[in-house]
Chain A
Amino acid sequence: MASGRIQVRVPNDLWDPSETEEGVIANWFCEDGAQVEQGATIAEVAVEKSTYDVVAPAAGTLTIAVPQDGVVQPGTVIGYIAMG
């Protein structure tokens, strides 16, 4: 089993949405279509001035679903990684 597509999500517990509703993608550290390694920091989410790194859940080819400056909430799918 080396193929398939896995979601890249903003973790559900990254921040408390009752305090700050939305965050934004502050940075993508890879281009759309880039090969990424599992565990690599691929994006950065900003919630006001706090920042959180998003790591690749698997190795494969990245598809970006939410571009830089796009609005996100905990749980938002921001991209996909095609494995294999």
Chain B
Amino acid sequence: MPSSRKLTVSRAMSEAIAQEMRADPQTFVMGEDVGAFEGVFDSTLGLLEEFGEERVRDTPISETGFIGAGVGAAMSGMRPIVELMFVDFIGVCMNAVYNLAAKNTYFSAGNCKVPMVLMTGTGGGYNDAAQHSQALHATFAHLPGLKVVAPSNAYDAKGLLTTAIRDDNPVVYMFHKGLQGLVWMASPAGAATEVPEESYTIPFGEARTVRSGRDVTIVAISMTVHGALAAAEELATEGIEAEVIDLRTLVPLDRDTVIESVKRTGHLVVADEDYRSYGLTSEVITSVVEAHPDYLKGPPQRVAMPDIPVPYSRPMEDAMLPNAERIASAARHTTGRG
């Protein structure tokens, strides 16, 4: 039987968790509505039924409590997978993440481990306004001590989540709501992919070149990978061949793949749904310029959410998101063809 099975991102995530829970009784899930509801964004499909309430734990709306508890459980030998429903809710529980999870390994010179996965829904594009639409990638990537993952498709989602669960460090696994393949929220065609049934891992810090091109490098992550690919198709009709790189992880960050690509193309666009200033886009550009100030033949471009709270109204939000049109426009600009 050829493996032509396609999965949505949410099903791929659920499968990764189930396989790890089967393999290791220390692995368990907790979070709001992860049980009977199977995750508000379907990240825990079928888990309650298979593993029961002891290992698939609905929590009160108490993020400070249950994420802090995740840190404690992880340090006592468990492998908790804790869901923060919307990444925007990090505001009520940041201490557990950045002062505990991120620092306890260092404080103890590696004598204590925090093998916890914090998985959390990110992103906008469906008009949910500024407390339910942020990407916040850089907020986590900025804090030393956290690994940060943001898959763009189902194959990566499963492999990266398996790696995350097996990692002895705290991993923030940021899944974009609009990539999950939810029946009630549109997702781009490329998000659902063929996914092997068997368990597999994808190493952190290895970007994937999704499309090869000689004229401009477009670096993207999570949802912007799909915008970058659409932009590349559009640019190809104009004779601009774009190379698209999916970073897949923010920490560790695969700078080498980006630098190697820019060396060939001489032009760089970085697309991220997070805010423009002090973010991933600046980090990637700096990584290139700092190491090789001579590689760029045009001004590098950031395509990101402007420095405003994510607006609710559709015409406003649509125009502010880093979509294919904005990415293509930036590519034309930096290559001097627009």
Residues of A within 8 A of B (CB): 26-31, 34-35, 37, 40, 44, 46, 48-49, 51
Contacts and interface: CB of A to CB of B under 8 A. Distances in A.
Given A26-B183, A27-B192, A46-B183, A40 B2 contact: no
B128 to A, nearest CB: 15
B327 to A, nearest CB: 25
Contacts of B6: 27-31
A48 to B, nearest CB: 8
A7 B192 CA distance: 25
Contacts of A35: 1-2, 4
Q: Which of A27, A34, A35, A44 has the most B CB atoms < 10 Å from its CB?
A: A27
B183 A44 contact: yes
A34 B1 CA distance: 10
A21 B192 CA distance: 28
Given A27-B6, A30-B5, A34-B4, 17 more contacts: A26-B183, A27-B8, A27-B181, A27-B183, A27-B192, A29-B5, A29-B6, A29-B7, A30-B6, A31-B4, A31-B6, A35-B1, A35-B2, A35-B4, A40-B5, A46-B183, A49-B183
Contacts of B192: 27, 29
Interface in B1-59: 1-2, 4-8
B107 interface: no
Interface string B177-202: 00001011000000010000000000
A51 B46 CA distance: 13
A31 B7 CA distance: 11
A48 B183 CA distance: 8
Contacts of A31: 4, 6
Contact of B184 (A29, A34, A40, A49): A49
Interface residues of B, number: 11
Contacts of B1: 35, 37
A30 B4 contact: yes
Nearest to B8: A27
13 contacts: A26-B183, A27-B183, A27-B192, A29-B6, A29-B192, A30-B4, A31-B4, A34-B2, A34-B4, A44-B183, A48-B184, A49-B183, A51-B183
**Closest 8 pairs (CB-CB, A-B):** A46-B183, A26-B183, A34-B4, A49-B184, A51-B183, A29-B6, A35-B1, A30-B4
A66 to B, nearest CB: 15
Contact of A46 (B2, B4, B7, B184): B184
Contacts of A37: 1
A72 B231 CA distance: 33
A44 B10 CA distance: 13
Nearest to B184: A49
Q: Which of B5, B184, B192 has the most A CB atoms < 10 Å from its CB?
A: B5
Nearest to B186: A69
Contacts of A28: 6
Nearest to B185: A49
A29 B7 CA distance: 6
